[in-house]
Structure formats: C-alpha cells, structure tokens
Amino acid sequence: MKFKFTLLFTLSSFILFSQDIAILKYKGGGDWYSNPTALPNLINFCNTNINTNISDKPQTVETGSIDIFQYPLLHMTGHGNVFFSEEDAVNLRNYLISGGFLHIDDNYGMQPYIVKELKKVFPNKQLVEIPTNHAIFNIAYKFPNGLPKIHEHDGKQPQALGVFHEDRLVLIFTYESDLGDGWEDTVVHNDPEDVREIALKMGANIVKYAFEN
C-alpha cells in the first residue's frame, strides 16, 4: 500500500508504507489512555480477518507532534475534557487533509468537548451524519443500518458523524455507541460475544477504510 502525505508546513512530501495505528494523546485532562485492551484486540481481529499487518503494540503520539504523520490512522478516545492548542489544531488539520484519518470514539462524556475543539481544526466545516450507504459501513462488513449500538449510555441512537475534505471522509466521530468498550477484553465489560464481534467488525471497517482511502 502506498500512502502519501504532503507536509504543508515544510512544503515537502514523502511516501509512507505503513499499516500501523497510533493512539492520540491530547491535552485537557481527559483520559486519552482509557480502554487499554481495546486497540490491541481490534488490531488482532483485523490482522486475522481482513489481511492487515498492523503492529500489535500501538504507539502513542501527541496531537502537536510531527510523529502523527507516520500513521495512516489515529485513534482517539476518552470520557472527559479535550483541548487543542492552535498548534495542535493546525498540525491535525494538515495531517487530515494530507491523507490521514482520525477515529474519535466517545467513551461517554467526550462529545461536548470534542465538538468545540474540532471547530479549531476545521473552522468552516461541521460534523455531519455519515450516510449508511457510505463505504465505511460496507467496505469489509455490511452495516445496512449504520453504526451499531454497543453500550447503553444515555439510550440515544448511535451516530457516526464525519468531516469531509474534497469528498473524502477524513474523520469519524462515533457517538452513543462505544465501539472501544466492545473491543476490550471480555472480562472488562462482560459484553456477549456477538456484541463484541459486531463492535470489532465495525472497527475493522474503519481500519480498512482509513488504509485504503
């Protein structure tokens, strides 16, 4: 797989041959480190079922670091406050419009903070509902009804909200679903195996979409 980024702030570009995923460490005091078994379990599922070759030890990168450009997919989660400095917002915007992809999974309580901070990243864009016929719901496994409901939270319908840049989905915010809890070891939340499988399959769709688009 050939993956190209243009580093706008250096006016240079490079080719990245990578299928790795990184955890995004953000400011604000929110627990960016939550769900420690989730991403390794998703990676194992993807390597077994959709022919990826992802390192089973995901690295952690900070929002304002150039290191984010090493990864085609960043995963972000938590329960609480999120804060992007101006430098963080510019770096993340450059990453996303240059070919990167961000999955933000609300672990419950993140929504009001991330919506506000994303306005710094894309001042002229809004989160919009991703239609159920979009590739991210169909690329590896079929989800004709869109994002699955994994945990109850406030009992609301799950929503997959996205940001598009030049017709490419660059960011998905999964809300009132909690995919990450579904990816965790069974003993953490005691989710039934069929629920965990649904969560992992939706996660695999996100991974495959991020790697191929």
DSSP state of 10: T
> Looking at the predicted structure, is the pLDDT value of residue 189 above 90?
no
Q: Encode pLDDT of 105-151 as tens digits.
A: 999 889 999 999 999 999 999 999 999 999 999 999 999 999 999 97
Task: Tally the C-alpha atoms within 13 A of residue 192's C-alpha that lie toward its C-beta.
Answer: 4
Q: Encode pLDDT of 27-44 as tens digits.
A: 999 999 999 999 999 999
- Identify the band that residue 153 occupies on the pLDDT scale cut at 50, 70 and 90: low
- What are 11's two structure tokens? 């006016």
The stretches of 71-192 forming alpha helices (DSSP H) are 86-97, 111-121, 179-183, 186-189
- What are 101's two structure tokens? 């992809």
- What are 143's two structure tokens? 């989800």
- List the domain boundaries for the chain: 20-212
pLDDT at 188: 82
When the candidates are 3.40.50.800, 3.40.50.880, 3.40.50.12140, 3.20.20.110, the CATH number that belongs to 20-212 is: 3.40.50.12140
Whether pTM > 0.85 for this model: the answer is yes
Higher pLDDT, 1 or 185: 185
- The residues, any chain, with a CB within 8 Å of residue 64's CB and separated by 6 or more, are 85, 87, 88, 91
Question: Mean per-residue pLDDT for 175-197?
Answer: 90
